[in-house]
Every structure is written in C-alpha cells, then in structure tokens.
Amino acid sequence: MGARAEVESLAELLAGTRGVLLDFDGPVCPLLEDGRDAALADRLRQTIQLPSRQASTDDPLAILTFAYEQGSATEVEDALIAGELVAAGVARATPGGHETIVACAEATTPVVIVSNNSQASVEAYLARHGLGELVHGVVGRAYARPDLMKPNPTPIRQALAMLGIAPEACVLVGDSVTDMTVSLLTNVHPIGYSRRASRRAELIEAGAAMVLDDMRTFADSVRRKATGNQ
C-alpha cells in the first residue's frame, strides 16, 4: 500500500471511530529494548527454577506464564513489576506515540491504554511525560494472571466498558499478532504498527485492517479528522 492509499484508508477507518485502544509496548514506547528484556528475564530466573527449554528465554512474560502454570506466579510477578517500573523511568518514546495520545485528547477521542505490561509501569511512564491526564484509562496485566493477558479478550472488554463505546466504533493499535487476534475476537477494528517488514506481514496475516510503519501517520490522521481535512 502506497503512502497516499494508506492515509486514505486510515481516514476512512477513523471516520467511524469514537474510541482508541492503544497498546503500550511498541506504539507508545519500546519498554524493554536495548537488552532490558534479557536483563529482566535474568532477574526473574533467580526467583524460579526453569526447565531447560525455557532456561535461556529473553521473554519475561514467558517466565511469568511458566510460573503461573506451576502455581507460583506472585514472586515472579512482583519482580517483573519492579523491573518494568525501572524500565518506565528510562524508556524512550516511539516516534509519534506521544503525538497520538495528544492528538486524540485534542480531538476529544478517548484513549485507553491496553497492555500486557503492568498498569503501574504504564502509569509511571505516562506520568513521567505528562500524559497521564490525557488518557481515559489504563488496563494493564492482571496481577499474577498472565492467562488473562491479550489475546484473552478480558482486558479489551474492560477497556470498552471504561469507554462505554461499542467495539465496532473503536480501533486497537498494536504491534503484535495477539493484538490483531484479540481485536477480531472482540469486534474492534485492528490496526497494526511495526517498522519491520517481517512483522508487518505477520500482522496482515493475523487480520490487521492495515499496518502502519510510523505512529505519526495515525496522529496526523486523527488531527485531520478533527479539523475536517480528510
């Protein structure tokens, strides 16, 4: 899809949008980039004995999920939240991520952040950048219940309840296949975001209505809709 066609398709999709569900890690900021995911996974490994097939994983959420399956998730969850809070204090913004939140606030289009990260870390990041008052709410990972993370529809349904808006009038912007999957499960319009061609292909295959490679495109489209300059 060319740049002009992408803008036109996004404008058409946003024309009927009254609420925005926004994934956090990716569209707003890469929370655990620059090796922070591996460092945090190492820290979590100190709280639980992992089988060989997971002993070298760099995915903290995979370790949390294993701990939950073993019935001992709370210690791992506490360590994960602590690590995410540290990351929230140093993570850099995704280009266009902050602009998207500001643009939606200016357009009076409510935003709910829906994340598999902890609510505390999301709120800490937003507060650090003066964005907390601009979002309608935050739905983070349920404490010690990774089974309720996306693609489980529970967090999306919680976000929709906060908004009081029909799912068909909302979009979910996310960078993972699980975001696209849960959008389709809950009848929310899925919009993918990724700068990697391989990931964009995966998002399209998972059902994304479209995939953006720059969050500034989304922010600009929200502004154009608000001013009537489609």
Alpha-helix runs per DSSP H in 89-153: 97-106, 119-128
Q: Which two tokens stand for residue 2?
A: 């060319």
CA–CA distance, 185 with 60 (Å, rounded to integer): 25
Q: How many domains does the chain have?
A: 2
Q: Which residues contact 19 (CB under 8 A, 6 or more apart)?
A: 109, 110, 111, 112, 136, 160, 163, 165, 169, 170, 171
Q: Which residues contact 198 (CB under 8 A, 6 or more apart)?
A: none
Whether 174 and 219 share a structural domain: yes
pLDDT at 205: 97
pLDDT at 33: 95
Whether 107 and 213 share a structural domain: yes
pLDDT at 230: 57
**What does the pLDDT look like over 157-188, one tens digit per residue?**
999 999 999 999 999 999 999 999 999 999 99
Whether 134 and 67 share a structural domain: no
pLDDT at 167: 98
Q: Which residues contact 21 (CB under 8 A, 6 or more apart)?
A: 111, 112, 114, 156, 159, 160, 170, 171, 172, 173, 188
Whether 175 and 81 share a structural domain: no
CA–CA distance, 98 with 28 (Å, rounded to integer): 6
CA–CA distance, 47 with 75 (Å, rounded to integer): 7
Residue linked to tokens 């701990």:
67
User: How does 181-193 read in b/e, with b if 16+ C-beta sit within 10 Å?
Assistant: bbbbbbebbbbbb
Whether 13 and 49 share a structural domain: no
Helix (H) or strand (E) holding 63: helix 60-69
Whether 12 and 123 share a structural domain: yes
Predicted TM-score of the model (pTM) = 0.95
CATH number of residue 10's parent domain: 3.40.50.1000
User: 106: domain range?
Assistant: 3-30+93-227
Whether 79 and 190 share a structural domain: no
Residue spans of the chain under pLDDT 70: 1-3, 229-230
- Nearest CA-CA partner of 83 in 65, 98, 61, 68: 61
Residue 135 carries which DSSP code?
S
Alpha-helix runs per DSSP H in 107-214: 119-128, 154-163, 177-186, 197-205
pLDDT at 1: 59
